[in-house]
């Protein structure tokens, strides 16, 4: 009977983890360029006497297979801000300190560099991009022109294996290796929204909550049955 409790508990623990990830997605739904996370599961049969159990044994536990990042593009929204940029297609804006992002909400720092809202410098093909002027025009190819003078070109890169990217706060990622330059176009005055569908996530949260509650009831039922069996044996 204790195996039944362990099997049920394995499902309950994963549902709680799933709820945590869903809550995180919803909380970050308003962050430009945010990429939602999702869980996948795998089942395995409980060994019997240190030997693999038969497929029809029925004692199957569930465990986390992995938490992956969904890198599909989010919708593009116009803002009219010349420092807001959206990548059309694959790729990430290259940032200083080995970071990358799809969040194209940039600003000019006190030192005159294009940076993220958190102060990380945006990189061009020749390094950090310095802005000295007021009329900023960024072409679809990423060319940056300030007061009719070219000052650089955006560095947009992609990764053959995006699973190696480590998610950071603010829609940023860290990579252990340099990305490959891509020729995706850029839209000035637009931002890519997160790819989180809040309604879909809420529906999933409700379903996971109900399943978690069902697991709780099952654990309680197993516990009561075990207590009753022990009491009966004592008599």
pLDDT in tens, 87-127: 999 999 999 989 999 999 999 999 999 999 999 999 999 99
What's the rounded Cα separation, in Å, for the pair 203 and 146? 47
What's the rounded Cα separation, in Å, for the pair 99 and 165? 10
Q: What is the pLDDT of residue 53?
A: 45
- The angle that helices 198-234 and 2-27 make with each other, rounded to 10 degrees, is 160
Q: What is the pLDDT of residue 226?
A: 66
The contacts of residue 67 (CB under 8 Å, 6+ apart) are 21, 37, 38, 39
pTM of the predicted structure, to 2 decimals: 0.76
Q: What is the pLDDT of residue 195?
A: 95
104 neighbors 69 (Cβ within 8 angstroms): no
Beta-bridged to residue 150, according to DSSP, are 145
Q: What is the pLDDT of residue 56?
A: 47
Q: What is the pLDDT of residue 50?
A: 47
Q: What is the pLDDT of residue 121?
A: 96
pLDDT in tens, 14-62: 788 888 999 999 999 999 999 999 887 665 555 555 444 444 445 555 5
What does the DSSP assignment read for 159-194? -S-GGG-EE-GGGEEE-SSPPEE---EEEETEEEPP
Least confident of 8-17, 118-127, 177-186: 8-17
Q: What is the pLDDT of residue 62?
A: 56
């Amino acid at each position: 009977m204790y195996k039944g409790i362990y099997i049920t508990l394995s499902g309950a623990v994963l549902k709680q983890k799933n709820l945590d990830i869903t809550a995180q997605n919803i909380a970050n739904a308003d962050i430009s360029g945010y990429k939602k996370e999702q869980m996948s599961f795998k089942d395995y049969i409980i060994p019997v006497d240190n030997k693999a159990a038969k497929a029809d044994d029925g004692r199957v536990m569930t465990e986390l297979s992995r938490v992956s990042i969904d890198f599909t593009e989010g919708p593009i929204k116009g803002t009219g801000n010349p420092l807001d940029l959206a990548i059309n297609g694959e790729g990430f804006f290259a940032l200083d300190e080995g970071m990358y992002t799809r969040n194209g909400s940039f600003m000019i720092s006190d030192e005159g560099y294009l940076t993220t809202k958190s102060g990380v410098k945006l990189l061009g093909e020749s390094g950090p991009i310095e802005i000295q002027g007021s009329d900023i025009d960024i072409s679809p190819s990423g060319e940056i022109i300030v007061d009719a003078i070219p000052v650089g070109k955006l560095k947009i890169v992609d990764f053959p294996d995006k699973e190696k990217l480590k998610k950071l706060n603010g829609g940023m990622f860290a990579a252990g290796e340099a990305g490959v330059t891509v020729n995706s176009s850029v839209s000035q005055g637009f931002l890519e929204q997160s790819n989180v569908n809040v309604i879909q996530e809420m529906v999933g949260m409700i379903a996971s909550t109900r399943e978690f509650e069902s697991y709780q009831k099952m654990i309680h039922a197993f516990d009561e049955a075990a207590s009753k069996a022990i009491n009966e044996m004592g008599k």
